[in-house]
Amino acid sequence: MTDSGERLQKVLARAGVASRRAAEELITAGRVAVNGIPAGLGVRVQPGDRVTVDGEPVAAPTPHVTYMLHKPAGFVTTAQDELGRRTVLDAMPPVPGLHPVGRLDKDSEGLLILTTDGDLTLRLTHPRFEHEKVYRVWCFPEPGEQELAALRRGVELEEGFARAEVEPAPGGALALLREGRKRQVRRMFAEVGCPVDRLLRYRVGGLWLGDLGPGEFVQLGEQELDWLLQPGTRQQSPAQREQEALTRRLWL
């Protein structure tokens, strides 16, 4: 059995045949075949394979798409807004199932991932994967060494203790997080007496913002998805280093 391809129950779920659990029941009942052969739970579907349920062909699901958007300030990170405000989906093409991964608050800017892939969303948002998210912070007053040290040690927020890796930058700081609480950067800096004037996220995992301008977006290919799924930047490719240099030159 090969590890390539997509799990059969996932293919059935994405094609709208049944939920994954119900799809597993169909498979174990012997009602699903791949290329005319009754399939078991461990089967993976390769491109071009013919999947049938009770002899009826299953339409191939639409491939997932993932975008990087440079979210402008003023857009809310949600699929729908009951107050009628502009959402990040207003800046994107109308793709069924497209949704933002995580959040950037309305006044914040920068790198935001949108995808149709629920597994990717889980991979990027679940705390156990510890994906790094890095922000450029402008604030007044600027944090001194005492405030930066407090942020590194951690501050107490309503829902618990939170810390960040921070370093000084002109007009503010750079902040690295491995968790994603609501408005976390703003609340942490406010807690040490340095309220945030402007906040821009410029890296998620190993993916950099590059020269993507506010309101612009780009569909991610396999290379960029690989960068995105790296927790950090310990092993950067030459192309990643180029994107890092470009990001720093334009936004930092």
Check whether 164 has a pLDDT greater than 80.
yes
Say how far apart CA 131 and CA 80 lie, in whole Å: 26
Span 50-71, average pLDDT: 90
Check whether 2 has a pLDDT greater than 70.
no
Span 201-228, average pLDDT: 95
pLDDT of 108 = 97
Proportion of the chain above pLDDT 90, given as a percent? 67
Residue type, 70: H
29-38 pLDDT per residue, tens = 999 999 999 9
22 Cβ partners below 8 Å, 6+ apart? none
210 or 119: which leads in pLDDT: 210
One CATH from 3.40.470.10, 3.40.50.300, 3.30.2350.10, 3.30.497.10 for 66-251: 3.30.2350.10
**Catalytic position from the list 49, 81, 105, 226:** 105
Q: Could you identify the residue written with the tokens 């939170």?
A: 162
Say how far apart CA 150 and CA 235 lie, in whole Å: 29
Could you report how far apart the first and last alpha carbons of the chain are, in Å? 48
Query: With respect to CATH, is domain 6-57 assigned 3.40.50.720?
Result: no
Check whether 24 has a pLDDT greater than 80.
yes
What are the start-end ranges of the E strands in 25-171?
32-34, 37-38, 44-45, 51-53, 56-57, 66-71, 99-101, 109-115, 133-139, 155-157, 160-162, 165-169
CB count within 10 Å of CB 24 equals 18
CB count within 10 Å of CB 186 equals 18
pLDDT of 4 = 62
**Mean pLDDT across the chain, nearest whole number?**
91
109-151 pLDDT per residue, tens = 999 999 998 889 988 887 777 789 999 999 999 999 999 999 9
pLDDT of 3 = 56
Proportion of the chain above pLDDT 70, given as a percent? 98
209, 111 contact by CB (below 8 A): yes
For residue 175, CA distances in Å to 8, 142, 166, 192 come to 41, 13, 4, 14
Q: Could you identify the residue written with the tokens 């997509």?
A: 6
Clarify whether 226 is annotated catalytic.
Answer: no
For the chain, the domains span 6-57, 66-251
Instruction: Report pTM.
Output: 0.79
For residue 243, CA distances in Å to 77, 84, 206, 208, 225 come to 25, 36, 10, 6, 14
For 238, phi and psi rounded to 5 degrees? -55, -35
pLDDT of 63 = 79
Q: Computed over its alpha carbons, how large is the radius of gyration of the chain?
A: 22
CA-wise closest residue to 226 among 215, 236, 214, 216: 236
Say how far apart CA 175 and CA 168 lie, in whole Å: 9
1 or 88: which leads in pLDDT: 88
Check whether 1 has a pLDDT greater than 50.
no
150, 158 contact by CB (below 8 A): no
